[in-house]
Copies of this chain bind each other. A is one copy, B any other.
Amino acid sequence: MTAGTLYGVGLGPGDPDLLSLRAHRLLGATAHVAYFRKAGRLGQARRIAEGLLDPQACEFAMEYPVTTEIPLSDPRYNEILGAFYTECTTHLLGLLRTGQDVVVLCEGDPFFYGSFMHLHSRLKDQAQVQVVPAITGMSGAWTATGSPITWGDDILTVLMGTLPEDTLADYMARSDALVVMKIGRNLEKVRSAIDRAGRLGSAWLVEHATMPNEKVSRLSEVDDTTSPYFSIVIVHGQGRRP
């Protein structure tokens, strides 16, 4: 095991005021910080952490070699991403072996979808790892709608907009409450699936939840064909209400 510890620190849905006390303390104290981002962008994780890091901290930006240029179904996608995660792991292990702690900034909760887990799975048998859970993006989204997502015995299903339309429609029709993530370019497919499931009238699209440009719209009234990658669709449950 390495002398240094890798901290996978969840930053929550976007508002820095929603960081946990532990996350806030770790960010301010670390000498080494790492984060994923699309090449040429600041990146959502780094943006949330702005002003909270030690100005002397050494930053390691892990830039995805590919995001949506290659479809997920193309075998090259896993191959290129796999090599990238291994390269990042090698760099981080180098730091951890010299006794340095490293904080990896994670959007939302580190163990709920996201990229941190691809480092974690490669590092966990060789390095000390600690994970700090966080408020999920979906919690930020349902809070933005101003209504509870689930009541009583409601069943909640969380779906990714990247799934096939038939799969989406099938699961949407069978759940009380719904969360659909990774909307982005999948917006039209998600809307079509939710309509087939008879739930379009009660669906909301939440963009930039908890951030200054937060926007909540009825999905049926959205004309756009794409939406920010981090947008989330919400259908509230209607369970037991004494």
A interface with B by C-beta (< 8 Å)? 12-13, 16-22, 24, 72, 77-82, 84-85, 109-113, 117-118, 120-121, 124, 131-136, 139-140, 142-143, 146-160, 162-163, 171, 174-175, 210, 240-242
Contacts and interface: CB of A to CB of B under 8 A. Distances in A.
Contact of A158 (B117, B124, B143, B150): B150
Contacts of A240: 72, 78
Contacts of A112: 139, 142, 148-150
Nearest to A210: B133
19 contacts: A13-B133, A21-B21, A21-B24, A77-B242, A79-B242, A81-B242, A84-B242, A110-B143, A111-B148, A112-B142, A112-B150, A113-B152, A120-B148, A133-B140, A133-B143, A133-B210, A153-B160, A156-B157, A158-B158
Instruction: Determine how many copies of this chain the complex contains.
Output: 2
A151 B111 CA distance: 8
Contacts of A155: 157-160, 163, 171
B148 A153 contact: no
B157 A111 contact: no
Nearest to A111: B148
A240 B15 CA distance: 29
Given A121-B241, A148-B111, A143 B157 contact: no
Contacts of A136: 136, 139
Contacts of A157: 155-158, 175
Nearest to A145: B111
A81 B17 CA distance: 34
Contacts of A147: 111
Given A140-B133, A155-B159, A242-B118, A113 B19 contact: no
A117 B20 contact: no
A120 B236 CA distance: 15
B117 A151 contact: yes
Most B C-beta atoms less than 10 A away, residue of A79, A132, A152 = A152
A204 to B, nearest CB: 13
Given A155-B157, A240-B78, A111 B142 contact: yes
